[in-house]
Structure 1
Amino acid sequence: MAVHKAKAAVIVVRPVAAVAVAVVARAAAIADLWTDMTAPTARIYHNARCSKSRATLALLQEHGCICQVVNYLETPPSVEELNQLLDQLGMTPREIIRSNEPEYRELGLDEPTLSDSDLVAAMAAHPVLIERPIVVVDGKAAIGRPPESVLSLL
């Protein structure tokens, strides 16, 4: 009789251990899914050659953000997207245009009579003129200069 109980105990213990392992694995998967669902999602208009842009991307990742990286020099935002970004930033085109770029002078963008529409069109056609990086989280945006300035979005 004792031998039978010992065999039964072994038979019972193995399935319980297997169930416990499965429950722990499922709990870990649910925790990962929950983390993915609760982690902020950020879109970053990024230039990999820019140290501030790289630092901003790293900072977002360190804070658990899921980042959608837009290489805006390769895939420039449209005029409509730029206007939306300006609204989200609460800034004017002159505030986000890179006036130190050769294209700025070549295109005569220093002319004070140019309209906001003219400047936005120039940035859409010449994305190197767009200040970087721009980060958008939940409909709000910030420029990552310094990189820590985007933390207010999280």
Structure 2
Amino acid sequence: MIKIYHNPRCTKSREGLQILEKSGQDFEIVKYLEDIPSEKELRKILNCLDIRPEQLIRKNETVWKENYKGKLLSDDELIEIMLEHPKLIERPIVIKNNKAIIGRPPENIKSIL
């Protein structure tokens, strides 16, 4: 099953969702700002993406700039920050089996389908 971590207010996320809809494949939508992933789930996402937590953070968000920018933070601390402020999680994220992709640009999603 394909899963998309989606923010309906984000243009790139909406474009990614359209790509999935056009693919004709079944998928599940996770509105991660409402249904915040657990720590275990976030770690699994990072593992599927094969990236470090810092690479999943949206560093242009105000909450990041005002509270965390320039600080030396561990991977565990970064995960906690994303769980506390899910808006910092890059989007959209599409997972299929044990592989994941960040849909920036949204066309990247086609590579996982």
Same fold (TM over 0.5): yes
**Aligned match of 2:94:** 135
CA distance in 2 between counterparts of 1:110 and 1:70 reads 31
Q: Which has the higher contact order (CA 8 A, sep 6+)?
A: 2
| Partner-residue secondary structure (3-state), 1:43 | strand
**Aligned match of 2:14:** 54
- By percentage of residues, which structure has more helix? 1
**Aligned match of 2:78:** 119
Identity of aligned residues (%): 46
**Aligned match of 2:32:** 72
> Number of residues paired by the alignment?
113
CA deviation string 1:87-117 (max 9, x = no partner): 0001111111011111112322431x21000
**Aligned match of 2:111:** 152
With the length of structure 1 as denominator, give the TM-score of the two structures: 0.70
In structure 1, stretches of 5+ residues that fail to align are 1-40
| Partner-residue secondary structure (3-state), 1:74 | coil
- Give how far 1:148 is off: 1.1
Amino acid across the alignment from 2:47: D
CA deviation string 1:46-77 (max 9, x = no partner): 00010110110110110112120000000111
With the length of structure 2 as denominator, give the TM-score of the two structures: 0.94
Greater C-alpha Rg = 1
Q: What is the Cα-based RMSD across aligned positions, in Å?
A: 1.0
> Structure 1 runs of 4+ off > 4 angstroms?
none
**Aligned match of 1:84:** 44
| Partner-residue secondary structure (3-state), 1:68 | strand
Q: Is residue 93–residue 119 contact of structure 1 (8 Å, CA) maintained in 2?
A: yes
Amino acid across the alignment from 1:140: K
Q: Is residue 43–residue 136 contact of structure 1 (8 Å, CA) maintained in 2?
A: yes
In structure 2, stretches of 5+ residues that fail to align are none
CA distance in 1 between counterparts of 2:69 and 2:83 reads 13
